[in-house]
């Protein structure tokens, strides 16, 4: 059996800047094996000489997988110094992604904050590619500034297939859209909580308020899903760093049904009452 | 001996001098770890001389068995970078194929193996752990002199243990009763037949009596609920105000984690030599009491409050483990009590919360 601690060597095929501090990398194993990720799963990327960090998969349409990375620590700073053709290591994919089978024939409400749109992007691609299998689809997306919105050109294209609602905390002069936290966008949508599944990813404080709002609107905890960010060091349910109330986020998450989280005895800030 | 497919594991007797002879033979072909005297401590370490091995000692070794199966610091792999390529060398290949024999551990440590197995050999198999585990023979030694902090009776992990070992020795007067727990154990007996005699019915009775006496010794020092029966009470008291009080003492030093036979959380760190372009990924023990334990890239720390960290360890042992692997993961060894610099005592915590 393959040693799951050893990364597979992979090449950076391409990259593009999304924002001043965020970049999307296309990565492909040099063995030409496919990394078969599902929307919402994550991989561990080893930047040789620096270390390893978990990243959610932000694109699985093509042969190379895509990872949208914010430059924030040692590993990501080192990753940003690499160029086309450079080698990294990849382990995974790991974890449980978005519950695709529960979404068919439902209305979909996606709520994202900042870099939190990255793990939702493969789901949005999946929905758009199978558009007839879903009812109304709304995306509520907020970023700190217009400049920090991810996938700007795609947002435009997505808006032809799904309803895209945007807001920023701090507008720039040319910004014509909404200003404020992502929950203000709820006034733009008309949803039936009983036939809608809500899926969210963003900073804990955002998810906290979004979850609260969803419950106010009458959403049951069964129809709310969240992707939790925790320190998934090994990715395999051993190192213990990602556990929440004893549950391994790397094995049983990162996507959880709100009801599962509600059953935890340890407080989870993302749904805190 | 086999009756309808069930192998009956037998018991034998061995004299003290034959036991030393057995250990001598074992040490010739294996890495033999045993309890040794180190200052005022008993340490589990490589026995250089058979005469150094402690056979009658109080309590247990300072560090538990996990230090052998998951070393405090272990290189997982090494790599070097050349121009546009990277070569990886798995350190698994270097884990000696020589066999390890661990002699003289108590029920509390034998029980821990069952828990370690459930963590390291489930959905994913940890190959480093697995290789060592497969190469390891366990020869336990029944505890007859529990230390002042021992409470294995209340975690139902001792002083008697009936599985998890290959051989289990119990001192019976001038002999040692040898219980066989596995085929590996049986094969040790077979290849050293002349050192053993068959167990007598009296010796089995003496063992039963000794175990009873040891339980009484533990009960005399402890007035505790059974730790596998306090799940509901602990769940109910997760937000109890008492936690503030308990955690106000805690220094978050992590000693309790490091000496615990079932605290397995680890970090993986990197070492890199920029001149030779070589690096190592190294697994090191970690502690859920450290503030950095839950820190993610964005800087968020999910257990900022000291009480949330002390609760993490206690609830892991008594509640989360039951959910996760079906058993509590405290084996009652009392090491965390011994080493705590401020006197935090898991027995008191559980006793109070279970009330």
CA distance B17 to B247: 50
pLDDT tens for each residue of B226-253? 999 999 999 999 999 999 999 999 999 9
- Cross-chain Cβ contact A203/B302 below 8 Å: no
**Residue from the list A86, A229, A243 with its beta carbon closest to the beta carbon of B296:** A229
Among B281, B288, B315, select the one facing A240 at the smallest CB separation: B288
Nearest to A182 by CA among A160, A161, A208, A162: A208
Confidence of residue B2 (pLDDT cuts 50, 70, 90): very low
Interchain contact, A244 vs B297, CB within 8 Å = no
Q: Do B320 and A89 touch (CB under 8 A)?
A: no
- Work out the angle at residue A214's Cα, subtended by the Cα atoms of residues A208 and A219, and round it to the nearest 5 degrees: 130
What average pLDDT does chain B have?
94
Q: Residue A244: list chain B partners with CB under 8 A.
A: 302
Number of other CB atoms surrounding residue B81 within 10 Å: 17
Residue A62: predicted pLDDT: 66
pLDDT (tens, 9 = 90+) of chain A, 273 residues, equals 689 999 999 999 999 999 999 999 999 999 978 888 999 999 999 999 999 999 999 999 767 899 999 999 999 999 999 999 999 999 999 999 999 999 999 999 999 999 999 999 999 999 999 999 999 999 999 999 999 999 999 999 999 999 999 999 999 999 999 999 999 999 999 999 999 999 999 999 999 999 999 999 999 999 999 999 999 999 999 999 999 999 999 999 999 999 999 999 999 999 966
Nearest to A138 by CA among A163, A103, A102: A163
Chain A: closest CA distance from residue B208 (Å): 38
Q: What domains does chain A contain, in order, with CATH numbers?
A: 8-94 (2.40.30.10), 100-271 (3.40.50.80)
Q: What is the pLDDT of residues B148-201, one digit of tens each?
A: 999 999 999 989 999 999 999 999 988 999 999 999 999 999 999 999 999 999
Strands A224-227 and A255-257: antiparallel
Question: Which B residues in the span 264-303 are in contact with A, Cβ-Cβ below 8 Å?
Answer: 264-270, 272, 274, 277, 279, 281, 286, 288, 293-298, 300, 302
C-alpha distance from residue B211 to each of B107, B158, B161 (Å): 12, 9, 10
**Does B1 have pLDDT greater than 60?**
no
Residue of B91, B29, B33, B26 lying closest to B67 (CA atoms): B33
Domain that holds residue B258: 2-354
Strands A178-179 and A163-168: parallel
Q: Are A266 and A244 in contact (CB under 8 A)?
A: yes
Residue B4 neighbours by CB distance under 10 Å: 4
CA distance A190 to chain B (A): 33
pLDDT digits (tens, 9 = 90+) for B62-76: 999 999 999 999 999
At B245-279, the pLDDT tens digits run 999 999 999 999 999 999 999 999 999 999 999 99
pLDDT band of B4, cuts 50, 70, 90:
very low
Q: Which of A141, A2, A143 is nearest to A70 (CA)?
A: A143
Confidence at residue B3, expressed as pLDDT on a 0 to 100 scale: 43
Q: Do B302 and A269 touch (CB under 8 A)?
A: yes
Q: What is the pLDDT of residue A223?
A: 97
Q: Does B74 touch chain A (CB under 8 A)?
A: no
Does A231 contact B296 at a Cβ distance shorter than 8 Å?
yes
pLDDT at position A32: 77
Q: Which of B66, B74, B86, B269 to substitute to test the interface with A, most A CBs within 10 Å?
A: B86
> How high is the pLDDT of residue B160?
95
Query: Percent of chain B, pLDDT > 70?
Result: 97
Min Cα–Cα distance to chain B from A43, Å: 15
The phi, psi pair for A235, rounded to 5°, reads: 80, 0
Mutate which: A9, A56, A232, A246, vs B, most B CBs within 10 A: A246
Asked if B240 reaches chain A (Cβ–Cβ under 8 Å), the answer is no
Query: Which of A93, A238, A245, A266 to substitute to test the interface with B, most B CBs within 10 Å?
Result: A238
Closest of A154, A156, A163, A165 to residue A134, by C-alpha: A163
**Distance in Å, alpha carbon of A153 to nearest chain B alpha carbon:** 26
Beta bridge partners of A59: A66
Q: Give the residue from B61, B180, B59, B164 showing the smallest Cα distance to B113.
A: B164
DSSP alpha helix (H) spans, chain B: 16-29, 66-69, 107-120, 127-134, 183-191, 201-221, 231-236, 242-249, 255-259, 306-315, 321-325, 335-339, 346-354
CA distance A66 to chain B (A): 19
Mutate to test the interface with A, among B78, B83, B123, B124 (most CBs of A within 10 A): B124
pLDDT of the residue at B9? 66
Give the pLDDT band (50/70/90) at residue B8: low
Q: Dig out the tokens for B236 from the structure.
A: 């109910």
Q: Which residues of B touch A269 (CB under 8 A)?
A: 302
pLDDT at residue B82 greater than cutoff 60: yes
**Cβ contact, residue pair A236, B123, below 8 Å:** yes
B289: which 2 tokens?
A: 């009491």
Q: How many domains does chain B have?
A: 1
């Amino acid at each position: 059996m393959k040693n799951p601690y050893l990364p597979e060597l992979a090449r950076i095929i391409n990259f593009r800047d999304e924002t001043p501090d965020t970049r999307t990398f296309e990565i492909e194993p040099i063995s030409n094996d496919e990394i078969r990720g599902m929307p919402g799963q994550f991989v561990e990327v080893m930047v040789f000489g620096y270390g390893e960090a978990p990243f959610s998969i932000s694109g699985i349409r093509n042969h190379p997988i895509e990872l949208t990375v914010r430059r924030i620590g040692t590993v990501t700073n080192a990753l940003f110094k690499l160029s086309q053709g450079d080698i990294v290591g990849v382990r995974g994919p790991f974890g449980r992604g978005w519950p695709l089978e529960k979404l068919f024939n439902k209305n979909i409400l996606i709520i994202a904050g900042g870099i939190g749109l990255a793990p939702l992007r493969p789901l949005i691609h999946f929905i758009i590619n199978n558009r007839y299998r879903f009812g109304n689809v709304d995306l509520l997306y907020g970023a700190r500034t217009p400049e920090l919105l991810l996938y700007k050109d795609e947002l435009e294209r997505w808006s032809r297939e799904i309803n895209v609602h945007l807001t920023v905390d701090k507008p720039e002069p040319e910004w014509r859209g909404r200003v404020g936290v992502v929950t203000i966008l709820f006034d733009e949508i008309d949803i039936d909580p009983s036939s809608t599944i809500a899926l969210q990813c963003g900073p804990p404080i955002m998810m906290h308020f979004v979850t609260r709002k969803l419950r106010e609107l009458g959403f049951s905890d069964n129809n709310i899903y969240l992707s939790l960010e925790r320190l998934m060091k090994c990715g395999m349910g051993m190192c213990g760093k990602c556990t929440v109330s004893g549950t391994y986020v790397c094995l049983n998450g990162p996507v959880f049904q709100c009801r599962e989280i509600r059953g935890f005895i340890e407080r989870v800030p993302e749904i805190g009452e | 001996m086999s009756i309808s497919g069930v192998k009956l594991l037998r018991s034998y007797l061995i004299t003290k001098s034959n036991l030393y002879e057995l250990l001598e033979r074992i040490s010739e072909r294996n890495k033999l770890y045993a309890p040794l005297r180190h200052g005022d401590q008993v340490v589990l370490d490589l026995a250089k001389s058979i005469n150094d091995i402690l056979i009658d000692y109080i309590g247990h070794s300072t560090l538990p068995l996990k230090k052998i199966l998951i070393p405090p610091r272990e290189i997982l792999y090494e790599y070097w970078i050349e121009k546009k390529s990277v070569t990886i060398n798995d350190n698994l290949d270097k884990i000696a194929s020589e066999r390890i024999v661990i002699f003289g551990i108590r029920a509390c440590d034998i029980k821990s193996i069952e828990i370690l197995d459930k963590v390291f050999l489930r959905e994913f198999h940890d190959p480093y752990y697995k290789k060592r585990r497969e190469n390891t023979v366990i020869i336990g030694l029944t505890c007859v002199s529990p230390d002042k902090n021992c409470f294995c009776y209340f975690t139902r992990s001792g002083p008697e243990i009936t599985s998890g070992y290959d051989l289990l020795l119990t001192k019976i007067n001038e002999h040692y009763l040898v219980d066989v727990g596995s085929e590996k154990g049986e094969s040790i007996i077979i290849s050293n037949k002349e050192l053993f005699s068959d167990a007598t019915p009296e010796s089995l009775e003496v063992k039963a009596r000794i175990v009873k006496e040891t339980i009484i010794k533990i009960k005399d020092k402890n007035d505790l609920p059974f730790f596998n029966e306090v799940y509901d009470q602990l769940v109910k008291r997760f937000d109890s105000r008492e936690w503030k009080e308990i955690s106000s003492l805690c220094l978050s030093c992590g000693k309790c984690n490091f000496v615990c036979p079932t605290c397995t959380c680890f970090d993986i760190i990197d070492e890199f030599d920029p001149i030779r372009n070589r690096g190592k990924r190294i697994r090191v023990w970690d502690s859920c009491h450290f503030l950095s334990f839950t820190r993610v890239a964005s800087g968020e720390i999910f257990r900022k409050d000291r009480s949330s960290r002390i609760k993490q360890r206690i609830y892991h042992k008594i509640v989360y483990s039951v959910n996760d692997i079906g058993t509590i993961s405290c084996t009652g060894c009392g090491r965390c009590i011994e080493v705590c610099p401020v006197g935090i005592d898991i027995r008191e915590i559980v006793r109070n919360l279970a009330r």
